[in-house]
Amino acid sequence: MERRVVITAASAITPIGHTKDELIDSLINGKSGVKKIKEDDLLTDRVESKVFGTVSYPIDFDFKRKYRKTMGPVAYYACQVVKEALESAGLEQDFISSGRMGVAFGSTHGSPTVQRQIYEHFFSGSEERFSAIGAVDYLKSMVHTTAVNITKMFEITGRVISSSTACTTSSQSIGYGYEAIKYGMQDAMICGGADEYDTTTVAVFDNLLACSTEYNQTPHLTPRPFDTKRDGLVVGEGAGAVLLEEYELARKRGANILGEVIGFWCGNNGGDLILPNMAGISETIIQGLQNAGLEPNDVDFVSAHATATKMGDVAESMAIGNVYGKGPHVTGLKSYMGHTMGSCGVIETIITLHMMEKGFIAPTLNLEEVDPRCDMIRHTGKLREIPIKIASIQNFAFGGVNTSLFLKKV
Amino acid sequence: MTRDEIKTNILLIFDEEFEIVNPGLDDNLTEDHDFDSIDALELLGEIEKILGSELTRQEKKDAMEIRTVNQICDYVASLAVKRALM
């Protein structure tokens, strides 16, 4: 038995805003959330990329100590967006704790801030500092810290899925949450991802020559997906959560349905762990379309992964071109906020839901001159007032992991 | 180090570290104040600071049956005597 799955609540913390209105304002007015990187005493002097997709506004975290004590910064983000999503959904606590609702939530690697503190103790050579490693440091830093802090705070007793596949972390969360409901294992799943401000991630991509370095004095002009003058990705921070529910249950309780998840696919390139792979991406899109029961010309909008690396954007454009031709409008939403890593899939999903509701498609920011090698697709060069009925969100990660997710306006 | 000083120290730790203000000395900390296993481990770290020395594995195991502030004070006092601090 296959069941319909709908999204009934969403919340995001992003470099371009926290509320729905802030996000829409940034998209419509072309506001970038990329800022100069904040100085730290660790890496910022040594990395060449001096830009970061930064959450620069205050957030009123109001968590009791019994929750705070096992949370690093990444779990604060995760629990905040889940709190906001659940508050807007209005589910009964009895249902949340019934075992019929689960969590699919992850981050790239837990809390690097807390991990750094642990390593400082380890390598200090001091007995006293070694014994100072706190009992809760592991709970704050571990890979599944977001998912289980969520279960604790909201007393969720169902399934726990905690992907940590870098850039496909939260698209996998949504996809696997969708499958858990579709096939009857759960009736609702709170799904998403988060990543905190972290300069070690910048160093990883910087050392691979994948980070943007030419716009250090003009952060808002980078990243530039598909543009001839793009020079790499910009690392960012953020979080997002979507509540997935079985359609009939959502309808009966009068839930506000934001959209329907109609298909998902995840595949691997089966080879190189870093290089983008046109064949692997194409296959993931094709399998996703089949899973959703769609033809390529059914899709109105594609949210491209589009990190603005030299090779990645070309491989993705070719894959989209191969499958869709110049049919759907394509936007690279990372152009507004950089690459929020474990949260990019869910943030791009939430933005797509907002555009679906409001009837517009945001352009790719900083796309001034399309790279001829990316010109086989229908780029969104300016703001379009076009209704989206069916959209696809695609994400790709180190390790050769590819996902495609398909949403429908209900 | 007197028992009163120990009590003052412990209550200060409960206030500052655990946000439990002036608990009854015989309250069941788990049932009345949500004091859990993670807090217990953190408290042992704080007790090590009061004593100025690490607890042995056996001393930590001995603490696992403790339920009240009074029992914590007795526990710390016995360790202080062992370390010739009282």
State the pLDDT at residue A125.
75
Query: Is the pLDDT at A23 greater than 90, yes or no?
Result: yes
Q: How far apart are CA A401 and CA A273, in angstroms?
A: 9
Cβ-in-10-Å burial (0-12, 13-18, 19+) of A368 comes to exposed
State the Cα–Cα distance between residues A356 and A299, nearest whole angstrom: 13
Q: Is the pTM of this model over 0.90?
A: yes
- As a whole number, mean pLDDT of residues B20-49 equals 93
Alpha-carbon distance of A181 to A179, in angstroms, equals: 5
pLDDT of residue A1: 81
Q: Which residues of A touch B45 (CB under 8 A)?
A: 131-132, 134-135
CATH number at residue B78: 1.10.1200.10
pLDDT 10s digits, A99-133: 999 999 999 999 999 998 888 887 887 766 555 66
Q: Mean pLDDT across the stretch A267-291?
A: 96
Say if A252 is an interface residue toward chain B (CB within 8 Å): no
Q: Which of A86-90, A130-134, A220-224, A336-340 has the lowest mean pLDDT?
A: A130-134
CB nearest to A69's CB, from B38, B45, B48: B38
Residue A134 clears pLDDT 80, i.e. is over it = no
Pairing of the two strands A401-408 and A390-397: antiparallel
For range A183-196, the mean pLDDT: 98
Rounded to a whole number, what is the distance in Å from the CA of A181 to chain B's nearest CA? 34
Q: What is the pLDDT of residue A359?
A: 98
pLDDT of B48 reads 92
Give the three-state DSSP class for A86.
Answer: helix
pLDDT tier for residue A73 given thresholds of 50, 70 and 90: very high
The CA distance from A169 to A164, in Å, is: 5
**Backbone angles phi and psi of B55, in degrees to 5:** -85, 145
Tell me what pLDDT residue A129 has: 55
B38–A132: do the CB atoms touch at under 8 Å? Answer: no
CB-facing half-sphere around the CA of A379: CA atoms within 13 A: 26
- Per CB-CB distance under 8 Å, the chain B contacts of A136 are 38, 41-42
Residues of chain B with a CB closer than 8 angstroms to some CB in chain A = 18-19, 34, 36, 38-39, 41-42, 45, 48, 54
Average pLDDT over residues A200-223: 95
Is the pLDDT at A321 greater than 90? The verdict is yes
Mean pLDDT of all residues belonging to chain A: 96
Q: How far is CA A7 from CA A3, A190, A192, B74, in A?
A: 13, 10, 12, 55
Q: At a CB cut-off of 8 Å and minimum separation 6, what does A229 contact?
A: A214, A368, A369
- Provide the number of CB pairs (under 8 Å) joining chain A to chain B: 23
Q: How far apart are CA A308 and CA A314, in angstroms?
A: 9
Picking from A62, A65, A138 by the largest number of B CB atoms within 10 A of its own CB, the best residue to mutate is: A65
Find the domain containing B35 and state its range.
3-82
Please classify residue B49 by burial: count the beta carbons closer than 10 Å to its beta carbon, then call 0-12 exposed, 13-18 middle and 19+ buried: exposed
Domain count, chain B: 1
What chain A holds in terms of domains, given with CATH numbers, is 5-408 (3.40.47.10)
Closest chain A residue to the Cα of B34, Cα to Cα: A66
Q: What is the percentage of chain A residues whose pLDDT exceeds 90? A: 91
